[in-house]
Structure 1
């Protein structure tokens, strides 16, 4: 095994631990994780849960992505997706530059329609197409915002930066997604739109969830709620407030605070009963179904995997629910099923995630860790199991 490129998360943890001159027991003590968990994770016998991975990353003073291996460069290159990242990076860096290409931007109605279509692409799981079209749209929306005086132009630009956040997050470029969120805040302030500002804090909280900084994530949720206090009442406000509660519930679950998590879920459920399905409102997928899906995620974060599996069985997913959210849900259910020993059912859910949103699923860290955890049951798996691993690049 090359020390510069360990082959799985456990090997990366072991490699980093040795660089820090720590024993397995010392790492376990620093991270407040059991010694047996550290040894099994490093050997690849036990899949690493998000909360354990976060604790180990903090103890080793590295980022979670340093240990998970994101972004998965080899796979991105095979799919020719890596070449789409630098144009997005350059477009995000041109936020304060007026149009200089000599090509006039399209009419605002066309830009708005394209921005909506791009968000729909991401929700449909068509990440490659969205990534390819995103830089040009950012440049155009930036030019219109700078040359116009309409707050709607700045709001459109903020939403376009949000799409950049979605794309870069799904491809594993978490450092770049924070740049997109900074740009989103910059544009939303110029749009004087507290709803967009509150939504931006929600996405920032998710970024800190992935980084396992749960307390900072909670504080960002609180800031988002304060921003929403400045907004006019109505459905748009309700949807974003409800989504903030869902984000807070997952953060509390990862922190093993069941009481707080349940309180946020109940509040989100109350709001969802009022809004009904609101999947296209700011493309947050909010509504009763999303509350149920988040309940499964929270139970899994609390390590209550049997309850998570039972809760998933009670959800009736409506037709045409956003593929990106549905694929993520299948990945979460697969993780819970793996931990409860339902290995074949877990693999079936991984296959479902691939069928629904293949581009997203291939770069999903939960999918990869779950697949790694199922490898011990490889002999009892169908033939498609090995082929799935090859497709993942594992």
Structure 2
């Protein structure tokens, strides 16, 4: 098979050479073992998110430079979906300017009904519907923010938070990291203007995620600790927003700790999140999806991040996912399960988990870089499955021979 020049392995090697570093020097700068760097470059090991964060920081490139995102869409309906990105980029840039193209505003209840649909699209990972709905609705709500005052303006700003969050979800899942980060800035602006505590925490949650994915785990942990210190005095009241924010921020801390290699700290944050979810008692949070089910999904993910496939599978056995759980979260769970099975040495089930993720959240699965890495690893590991896996790879947009 010919060399896959679009693989993470090839991109890491190229960035290292262009940076004038030997493998040994990169290992020292990134605090990643020399053996792992060699294994990734030789395609004997997959590039995990923790590896990508550490190496990208050492090489002074973005994670997207190493994964090759955003991936070009395959011919078909996804081309139009990606075309919506340019419109969203313009809309996010105009956040503090009234929209002259909206001469007449509908009532806020009418607008809120459409924003609620967008929330459902986001949670269902219905990205084509998001691409259709977001541009015009963002413009209308932006106009509402600038033409109202008092409680009406606060409501409009809260609606804008949901739309910015949906824009972030779409941009992030399609691999437009710069636009996703801009959307987080806009959430923070609108949340602070409205004073909505949970949306403020959501902006903090996603800001920490940017730090974590970029390999700055210590800054992420310090930032999250600072954010939780503002919430902690109010926990005694049992207010839902505070419990959701507190638990969600602990989950994000667990991810940063796991990526940094501190599994004990990750488990401590996971335990705090689990206790908070039990106190909350339900999965009805439509923003961070915080609740017992999502904590269970995160528990599997954190074990995968720790490269412990056996523990991830054990945790998954104790997890029952309700039929009405957000497809965005369930699809992500099966991507994690695929990595868990691969770590455990069960390639057949790893591929079946990918197929399940595709059935639940196809667009999200198609553009996920860890899915691409897993597909490449599966194809390399067992020749007799190459044609089946290759078909999945072509669907993902991996054109090169594996």
Same fold (TM over 0.5): yes
Equivalent in the alignment of 1:371 = 375
Instruction: Give the SS at the match of 2:218.
Output: helix
Instruction: Please list the CA deviations of residues 234-256 of structure 1 after superposition, one character each: whole Å capped at 9, or x if unmatched.
Output: 11221222111111111111112
**Farther off after superposition, 141-150 or 152-161:** 152-161
Q: Answer whether contact 2:50 2:215 (CA < 8 A) is retained.
A: yes
**Farther off after superposition, 180-189 or 376-385:** 376-385
* Structure 1 segment 234-313 matched on structure 2, within 5 A: 234-279=239-284, 281-313=285-317
* Distance in 1 of aligned mates of 2:198 and 2:231: 6
**Deviation (angstroms), 1:65:** 1.1
* Distance in 1 of aligned mates of 2:165 and 2:73: 26
Q: Does 1:218 align with 2:221?
A: yes
Q: Answer whether contact 1:202 1:224 (CA < 8 A) is retained.
A: no
**Deviation (angstroms), 1:229:** 5.3
Kindly indicate whether structure 1 or structure 2 has the higher relative contact order, using CA contacts under 8 Å at least 6 residues apart. 2
* Distance in 2 of aligned mates of 1:260 and 1:41: 27
Q: Does 1:195 align with 2:198?
A: yes
Equivalent in the alignment of 2:392 = 388
* Distance in 1 of aligned mates of 2:103 and 2:388: 50
Change beyond 3 A, Cα 1:310–1:177: same
**Deviation (angstroms), 1:347:** 0.5
**Deviation (angstroms), 1:74:** 4.2
* Distance in 2 of aligned mates of 1:289 and 1:102: 41
Equivalent in the alignment of 1:21 = 20
**Farther off after superposition, 230-239 or 346-355:** 230-239
**Deviation (angstroms), 1:78:** 6.8
Number of aligned residue pairs: 392
**Deviation (angstroms), 1:62:** 0.9
Q: Answer whether contact 1:309 1:333 (CA < 8 A) is retained.
A: yes
Q: Answer whether contact 1:13 1:42 (CA < 8 A) is retained.
A: yes
TM, length-normalised to structure 1? 0.93
Unaligned runs of 5+ in 1: none
Unaligned runs of 5+ in 2: none
Q: Does 1:58 align with 2:62?
A: no
Q: Answer whether contact 1:181 1:204 (CA < 8 A) is retained.
A: yes
* Distance in 1 of aligned mates of 2:102 and 2:115: 22
**Deviation (angstroms), 1:272:** 1.0
**Farther off after superposition, 321-330 or 221-230:** 221-230
Q: Answer whether contact 2:164 2:183 (CA < 8 A) is retained.
A: yes
Equivalent in the alignment of 2:70 = 71
Task: State which of 306, 318, 322 in structure 1 corresponds to 2:322.
Answer: 318
Q: Answer whether contact 1:378 1:385 (CA < 8 A) is retained.
A: no
Instruction: Give the SS at the match of 1:45.
Output: coil
Change beyond 3 A, Cα 1:157–1:74: closer
Equivalent in the alignment of 2:353 = 349
Instruction: Please list the CA deviations of residues 151-170 of structure 1 after superposition, one character each: whole Å capped at 9, or x if unmatched.
Output: 22222222221221111111
Q: Does 1:182 align with 2:185?
A: yes
Instruction: Please list the CA deviations of residues 300-344 of structure 1 after superposition, one character each: whole Å capped at 9, or x if unmatched.
Output: 112222111221122111112111101101011111211221111
* Distance in 2 of aligned mates of 1:62 and 1:18: 13
